[in-house]
């Protein structure tokens, strides 16, 4: 009997040892900042939402890792903050939190030392925390370094990736950079990346140069990637209507007539895709009608688009069968 009790006690100790976890503060933001100042520590903030799958994964599998728990409990004041209620609402606005999990380190004055978005394995998460010990490689210092020195061909892509890794929008800085690039330098790979990903103004100097020198861009970067940019540019002509809160049918019809007059490459295919995107939001019956009539014409060799369309049609007929609706 004694042996059984000893074994049970030993098993309990093992269980406890293997279930350490990050200790998160229970107080409000003011008390957390006060504690960080008193202990001379940074604040680790897990900015989450209750519906976020990767947030749940981090909480269950990473924050409960022994190595993670020991490192974060020893070095930081830790706080979990729901971005959709209480103090999290103002926090999300102040720190521009738009995707989850968004994890950051703040000093006691609220300055961002380091941050990143998305889940990661335990070892990487420990390394993420350790970067705060060498500020020159952390987010805050890198962002300041790039912006104070002005963006150039050697650092602009690194800067863009830095911000996008936190779900921050780099477009204003990217557009400011590309506007200063000489026309003949737009054919350099770095500048093509910036133009490809951020320039969508049809009347801009960069797009006019791109259209005028399309074959040169194709020769250097490949026909497929150039055609993809043309497609994105074309669809962006209608984004005002496809992303609106309410559908402006008259305005959308007028925009399509204007677009036809531009004689854009693959005009009909672009209008088809824009119709699907727009009517998919505002007029499902019209979507089904257009998709069924023309999907072979425009999507016959596009497996991804066909798959997405198939799911939408499958959902429609599953609902029809379940509710016995006459459509």
Residues annotated as catalytic are 52, 55
* Alpha-carbon span 57 to 312, nearest angstrom: 29
- Helix (H, G, I), strand (E, B), or coil: what is residue 160? helix
CA 242 centroid distance within chain: 20
Q: Which backbone phi and psi does 320 adopt, to 5 degrees? A: -60, -45
* Alpha-carbon span 240 to 171, nearest angstrom: 18
Structure token digits, residue 79: 């706080």
* Alpha-carbon span 141 to 232, nearest angstrom: 34
* Alpha-carbon span 313 to 298, nearest angstrom: 17
Structure token digits, residue 98: 């738009």
Place of tokens 């909480």: 59
Cβ-defined contacts of 272-278 (< 8 Å, 24+): 272/297, 272/298, 273/231, 273/235, 273/298, 274/234, 274/235, 274/237, 274/238, 274/242, 276/309, 277/235, 277/238, 277/242, 278/238, 278/241, 278/242, 278/247, 278/252
Place of tokens 């390394």: 127
Place of tokens 């402006």: 248
In the chain, the largest separation of any two C-alpha atoms, in whole Å, equals 90
* Alpha-carbon span 237 to 243, nearest angstrom: 11
């Amino acid at each position: 009997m004694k042996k059984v009790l000893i074994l049970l006690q030993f098993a309990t100790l093992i269980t406890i040892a293997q279930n350490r976890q990050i200790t998160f503060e229970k107080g409000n933001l003011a008390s957390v900042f006060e504690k960080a100042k008193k202990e001379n520590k940074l604040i680790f903030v897990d900015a989450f939402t209750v519906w976020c799958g990767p947030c749940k994964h981090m909480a269950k599998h990473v924050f409960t890792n022994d190595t993670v728990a020991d490192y974060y409990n020893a070095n930081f004041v830790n706080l979990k903050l729901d971005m959709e209620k209480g103090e999290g609402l103002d926090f999300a606005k102040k720190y521009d939190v738009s995707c989850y999990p968004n994890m950051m380190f703040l000093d006691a004055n609220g300055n961002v030392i380091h941050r990143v978005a998305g889940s990661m394995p335990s070892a990487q998460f420990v390394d993420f925390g350790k970067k705060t010990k060498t500020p020159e490689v952390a987010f805050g210092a890198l962002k300041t370094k790039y912006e104070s020195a002005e963006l150039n061909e050697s650092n602009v892509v690194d800067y863009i990736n830095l911000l996008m890794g936190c779900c921050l929008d780099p477009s204003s800085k990217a557009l400011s950079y590309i506007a200063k690039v000489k026309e003949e330098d737009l054919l350099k790979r770095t500048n093509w990346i910036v133009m490809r990903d951020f320039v969508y103004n049809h009347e801009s100097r960069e797009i006019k140069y791109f259209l005028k020198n399309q074959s040169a861009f194709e020769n250097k970067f490949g026909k497929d990637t150039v055609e993809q940019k043309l497609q994105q540019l074309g669809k962006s002509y209608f984004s005002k209507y496809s992303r609106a809160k309410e559908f402006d049918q008259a305005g959308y019809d007028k925009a399509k007539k204007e677009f036809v007059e531009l004689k854009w490459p693959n005009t009909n295919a672009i209008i088809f895709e824009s119709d699907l995107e727009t009517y998919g939001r505002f007029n499902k019956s019209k979507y089904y009608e257009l998709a069924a009539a023309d999907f072979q014409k425009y999507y016959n060799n596009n497996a991804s688009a066909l798959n997405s369309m198939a799911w939408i049609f499958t959902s429609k007929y599953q609902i029809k069968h379940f509710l016995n609706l006459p459509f």
